[in-house]
Amino acid sequence: MTSRERDRKATLRTRLRAARRGATMPPMSAEALLAVAAYDVPAGGTVCAYVASAVEPGSLAMVEALRSHGLRVLLPVVVGEALDWAAYDGRLRVGAFGLREPVGLLLGAAAVGEAALVLVPALAVDHGGVRLGQGGGYYDRALELSTGPVVAVVRDEEFVPSLPAEPHDVRVDAVLTPGRGLVRLPL
């Protein structure tokens, strides 16, 4: 990636973060269950998800909806420069970066490979499946181990025609928005 493209990514992140400040974030509970149905995740199946921060689409209600649907929900735990995973049992603590994470036993980075569906946060997603994250690379490193479909959760206006991509960027299989529901990618 050229320095111009890196600058474009940084500019996009700044603009998208600013647009989210003060915006109401959609809880995405019903939409997450639509993704579960679309990908035929069976009762008792494993879904990786996340607990949204105040400036991310999604919510603790989304995680609870998945668990109430009879699914085993794994949530990320930041360990050094990687994501580990732990099963959500209803208890959370504050972890790295002020993010809420599960209290349970760490299952290892490879646990994401057990998931029949992986829901991930993003700042934006493009029509080709390029996901723009926060810039730390945590999810790109984790998603290399995923075997299930990866679905990025964004607001409608964050689903865009194109984004700059780097070789390490892991493309997503679908995007989930409040207005469009599940859209499989690439378009």
Is this model's pTM higher than 0.85 or not? yes
Measured CA to CA, the distance from residue 84 to residue 157 in angstroms comes to 30
Using alpha carbons, select from 123, 136, 116, 117 the residue that is nearest to residue 163: 123
Q: Across residues 143-171, what is the average pLDDT?
A: 95
Query: What is the per-residue pLDDT across 38-94, written as a single tens digit (0 to 9) for each?
Result: 999 999 999 999 999 999 999 999 999 999 999 999 999 999 999 999 999 999 999
Using alpha carbons, select from 125, 88, 129, 122 the residue that is nearest to residue 105: 88
Other beta carbons within 10 angstroms of residue 25's beta carbon come to 16
Domain 3-184 sits in which CATH superfamily? NagB/RpiA/CoA transferase-like (3.40.50.10420)
Residue 1's pLDDT is what?
A: 54
3-state secondary structure at position 121? strand
Residue 66's pLDDT is what?
A: 98
For residue 102, is pLDDT > 90?
A: yes
Residue 167's pLDDT is what?
A: 85
Cα-only R_g, the chain: 15
Task: Decide: 74 and 67 in contact? Cβ < 8 Å.
Answer: no
Using alpha carbons, select from 55, 68, 34 the residue that is nearest to residue 151: 34
Residue 160's pLDDT is what?
A: 98
pLDDT, mean over the chain: 95
Q: Where are the domains of the chain?
A: 3-184
Query: What is the per-residue pLDDT across 136-155, written as a single tens digit (0 to 9) for each?
Result: 889 999 999 999 999 999 99
Measured CA to CA, the distance from residue 37 to residue 129 in angstroms comes to 20
Residue 94's pLDDT is what?
A: 95
